[in-house]
Amino acid sequence: MNKNYLPKAIRHSLTIGWLYPDLMSTYGDRGNIIVLQKRCEWRNIEVKILHLNPGFDHKLLATCNMLFMGGAQDKQQQIVAQDLKKEKVETLKKMVDDGVPGLYICGAYQLLGKYYKEADGTKILGLGIFDLYTENPGENHPRLIGNIIAELAGSTWQVADGKKTTSYAPQATRHIVGFENHGGRTYLGKNVKPFAKVIKGFGNNGEDGTEGAIYKNAIGTYLHGPILPKNPEIADYLIKKALEVKYKDEIGLEDLDDSLEQKAKEIIEKRYNVKV
Amino acid sequence: MINSFLILIGRIISKISSILNLGSGSTWPGHIALNLNPKFIRQTINRNPDLKVILTVGTNGKTTTSKLIKHLLEQEKIKVFYNESGANLLNGIASSIIKHSTLNGSLNYDVALFEVDENILPLMLNETEPQGLVILNLFRDQLDRYGEVNTIANKWSNAISKLTKSILFINGDDPKLTHIAKESKLKSYFFGLDESKMIKRDLPHDVDSVYCPSCQNKLNFKKIAYSHLGDFICPNCEFKKEKTHTFVEIKPPLPGTYNVYNTNAAALLVKKLFGIDEKKIQKYLDNFKPAFGRQEIFEIEGKKIMVLLSKNPTGFNQSIEMVMEMKQDDDNILIILNDRIPDGRDVSWIWDVDFEEFIDDMDNMFISGDRTYDMALRLKYANSSKSQKSKIKSQNYNLKLKTFENLNEAIKIALEELPRNEILYILPTYSAMLEVRKILTGKKIL
């Protein structure tokens, strides 16, 4: 066994903060949490999931090694916005800047941007963590709905791979698959990189071919489905980064058998004649 | 005049398509009629002033509840027609009218009973104001097609606010629906589950209606039937559950808590609109046959198969609960996940199903459908942590899971492996249910 694997005797542990599970959990989002939890447990990494619902103590946030926030209905998003007071937003900003990995899906992705402009021109301010904004072009423009296949933007972002335990050497780009369903069109600013490049589907806005955004170790994306079960490399990236930020050391992850995951991905690739 | 012509055309199309066995004959006549005359439904219903119109709507249970209502009315010698076979969009409703009317547009029935798709309800209410509107429930379902739960609730609420005479039959254990009824000022009756049959437990995670529809505070649930159905009260504005009709003396003809709701909805409607009393209802229910794919039982070469349509998280949880209730030592389960238009293209909802609660008890699981591996993955990750920890590098959970991309093969092998005295439970999504029936009734596999 490679010496960089986690020694069995040392129990690493992670605390994952799930922001607003009661409100921001719409599209099977909890699947992402289940996947993160299992993939840690299968590797003997102790994992604790904190459910951060409205009224939570902002100090809890700072104890998290990874954050997750899902999509929501409009009405529920308003309740969340009210709860995200100054201290919470500042803590969250600092954590993202310090490299705490996070996954922000759909509504959460939009919320982390600068603003969301409604069809009637009303601007709803976001948290300003991601340099991006979102516009809703109105009811005459269709929602962007369907299966999506994208290619991870390889030069800016490397996927942790169990086989490569020593470094994040850039690998051949890999596909991620999911399902998107959003009315808002998101446009990226200079300070974030796209998470992936659209091969089939719409992505951020259906125009510029970008999908999602990545800033430090925080990923924003429109992919649900949910994203992590069929794209376990993203789950592993988040776990690995979370461990490394917490333990300030380079850490390799044990390989897991992802053959079912691969098959689930291939079904979609084959359907749209996308070469693996 | 034009409508007579449309009815004639429709009949001819039905005839041709049934002779040629083209399928989909059930919605084409209505589709054409509505294209040529968008007011076809309104006009034909208006031509028959004595006809009572009843609509049923809801995420789950429309078909079973409609079948129950139809059955109860027919036993009472009331003439009723219904848009069978799940043709619940406007074209299906128009087709059903064509099928049951005379050429001059007369509908010689006492009652027109239509189950209505969630999205279509506002359009249908534009066409006609029903005597009775049954609203069963509102759960997450096919977000890609229906949008979010609040969107549907708002559409319903707006459409219902325009009604003046309809009587509402509402699931009183559902906070959103109760709110819609109270806002409407229409006469409303509430059905529900007897509180003694509810249990005290945490709200499941897949709930969309746990915040007060009136003031947005989090609701308190004293007890829960399932999902967000239960005995609720808002600690802030005192919005709370209405007293419901629970018909404890009536025994539902089908198992499962959700069928208590379906039965109570049907019972309340026939009692209030047609004066059929509980005693008669019970007597009539004793010879009720379930709808297509809803606990339907097939027997193939002496082996029994039960099909339980499972098309959204709440429905799936209920199916699982029912299998767990019914099964003895046997546990032969075939789950089929399709992602076609009637199923919803987005399969992420399977992550909102509580497989965790039963997966460790299952030994013989078959999986098939367009999204076989998505379902297999869901089950892989549902295995309990404890049993995984012991086999870290070889988490080959698919040992227990037999995956077949080909449905014929899945059914064939599941049946071959099925011991004589046991039951194979098939849990399909909607289009998969139709495929299963085709295979089983066509006996293609044998």
Q: Could you tell me if residue A3 is inside a domain?
A: no
Q: Could you tell me if residue A26 is inside a domain?
A: yes
The answer to whether residue A162 scores a pLDDT higher than 50 is: no
Q: Could you tell me if residue A197 is inside a domain?
A: yes
Q: Could you tell me if residue A123 is inside a domain?
A: yes
Residue B2 CB coordination number (10 Å)? 12
Q: Which residues pair with A13 in a beta bridge?
A: A46
Q: Do B377 and A256 touch (CB under 8 A)?
A: no
* CATH for the stretch B294-442: 3.90.190.20
Work out the pLDDT band at A170, boundaries 50, 70, 90: very low
Phi/psi-derived region of residue A28, left when phi > 0, alpha when psi is between -120 and 50, beta in every other case: left
Looking at beta carbons, which residues of chain B come within 8 Å of A253?
none
The reply to whether A260 touches chain B by the CB within 8 Å rule is yes
Q: Where are the domains of chain B?
A: 2-285, 294-442
Residue among B134, B141, B156, B153 nearest B64 (CA): B134
- A40 carries an active-site annotation: no
The answer to whether residue A26 scores a pLDDT higher than 60 is: yes
What CATH class does B2-285 carry?
A: alpha beta
The more confidently predicted of residues A259 and A48 is: A48
Separation between Cα atoms, residue B423 and residue B290, nearest integer Å: 18
Looking at beta carbons, which residues of chain A come within 8 Å of B394?
257
The reply to whether A51 touches chain B by the CB within 8 Å rule is no
Looking at beta carbons, which residues of chain A come within 8 Å of B150?
73-75
Separation between Cα atoms, residue A220 and residue B51, nearest integer Å: 55
User: CB–CB of A25/A74 below 8 Å?
Assistant: no
Enter the ipTM.
0.90
Q: Do B381 and A31 touch (CB under 8 A)?
A: yes
Counted domains in chain A: 1
Residues sharing a CB contact under 8 Å with residue B55, sequence separation 6 or more, in sequence order = B113, B114, B115, B116, B121, B124, B125, B130, B132, B133, B134
Rg over CA atoms, chain B: 22
Q: Do A267 and B377 touch (CB under 8 A)?
A: no
pLDDT for position B384: 63
Residue at token pair 């099909």: B307
**Catalytic residue selected from A12, A64, A106, A182:** A106
Q: Could you tell me if residue A104 is inside a domain?
A: yes
Looking at beta carbons, which residues of chain B come within 8 Å of A230?
374, 377
b/e A93-106 (16+ beta carbons within 10 angstroms → b): eebbeeebbbbbbb
Q: Do A257 and B396 touch (CB under 8 A)?
A: yes
Q: What is the pLDDT of residues A193-243, one digit of tens each?
A: 999 999 999 999 999 999 999 999 999 999 988 999 999 999 999 999 999
Residue among B144, B381, B357 nearest A228 (CA): B381
Mean pLDDT of A151-172: 47
Q: Do B381 and A22 touch (CB under 8 A)?
A: no
Q: Could you tell me if residue A214 is inside a domain?
A: yes
Mean pLDDT taken over chain A? 86
Within B101-148, residue ranges assigned H as helices are: 121-127, 143-146
Separation between Cα atoms, residue A197 and residue A221, nearest integer Å: 12
What's the gap between Cα B311 and its chain centre? 9
Separation between Cα atoms, residue B262 and residue B264, nearest integer Å: 6
Counting one residue from chain A and one from chain B, the pairs whose CB atoms sit within 8 A come to: 110
- A106 carries an active-site annotation: yes
The reply to whether A254 touches chain B by the CB within 8 Å rule is yes
* Best of B139, B140, B143 to mutate (most A CBs within 10 Å, chain A): B143
Backbone angles phi, psi at B199, to 5 degrees: -125, 160
The answer to whether residue A168 scores a pLDDT higher than 70 is: no
Q: Could you tell me if residue A5 is inside a domain?
A: no
Low-confidence ranges of chain B (pLDDT < 50): 24, 386-394, 396, 398, 444-446
Looking at beta carbons, which residues of chain A come within 8 Å of B350?
28
pLDDT for position A173: 46
Separation between Cα atoms, residue B186 and residue B164, nearest integer Å: 7
Q: Do B373 and A145 touch (CB under 8 A)?
A: no
* Best of B157, B374, B398 to mutate (most A CBs within 10 Å, chain A): B374
pLDDT for position A276: 65
Residue B155's Cβ-count burial label (10 Å; 0-12, 13-18, 19+) is middle
Residue span of the structural domain in which A130 resides: 13-271
* Best of A75, A106, A144, A271 to mutate (most B CBs within 10 Å, chain B): A75
The answer to whether residue A101 scores a pLDDT higher than 60 is: yes
- CATH number of the domain residue A80 falls in: 3.40.50.880
